[in-house]
Amino acid sequence: MSKLILIPEEELVGMMVSAVQDVFTTMLSMQVDLDRHESSMTSEESVPPAYNSNNPMIAANVGFSGKIYGMVYLCMEATLALKLTRQLLGMGDLEPSDHEMVNDALGELANMTVGGFKNQLSHKGYSCQLTIPSILRGTNFSVESTSQSQRETFYFDTEGNAFVADLFIRTGD
């Protein structure tokens, strides 16, 4: 499978893992480990959904553009999102129905994660800037790209809970 960007896959994996771990350790004081990683091109057939669940899910999305383009979706079940929000804000009694607060917290976690990843890209000469976060809510949805891009899907575990960081990336033409 040919790649669209010239950063070795190992380095890309290292960059994303370190960005995620930095956020979880610093802001949440939580351990997070990479379970597995999958690589694909979005032009290929049968691209699997990043995360299969019949439970309510949330995906926080932040994009980046400049010498390199892309976006990252942080996908997880709503229960994990609530747990992370409570941990981030020190609000143990936050209600599951407080979508606004959870959306905001998850958006900011995604912002910090993609920011950390993007800053590493900049050090390699791929300068770019971030977009503001957006949030998707639903069940059993998948994310696909309309144009050809490299897709790197990272399956993480944090203290027994799973979540996904789904990266779509390509260089500027």
> Which pair of structure tokens corresponds to residue 24?
């979880």
> What is the distance between the alpha carbons of residues 91 and 48, in angstroms, rounded to a whole number?
36
Residues 37-96 that bind other proteins (CB under 8 A): 85, 88-90
DSSP 146-157: SS--EEEEEEEE
Residue 27 lies near other proteins (rule: CB under 8 A): yes
* Candidate list 26, 55, 140, 142; residue touching other proteins; CB under 8 A: 26
Cβ within 8 Å of residue 119, ≥6 positions away: none
Comparing CB distances to other proteins, the nearer of 70 and 116 is 116
DSSP 89-129: HT-TT--TT-HHHHHHHHHHHHHHHHHHHHHHHHHTT--EE
Q: Which residues pair with 62 in a beta bridge?
A: 72
* Candidate list 108, 137, 157, 171; residue touching other proteins; CB under 8 A: 108
Q: With CB under 8 A as the contact rule, which of the stretches 36-44, 108-116, 147-155, 165-173 interacts with other proteins? A: 108-116
Residue 30 lies near other proteins (rule: CB under 8 A): no
Residue 157 lies near other proteins (rule: CB under 8 A): no
Q: Which residues bind other proteins (CB under 8 A)?
A: 22-23, 26-27, 85, 88-90, 100-101, 104-105, 107-108, 111-112, 114-116, 118-119, 122-123, 127-132
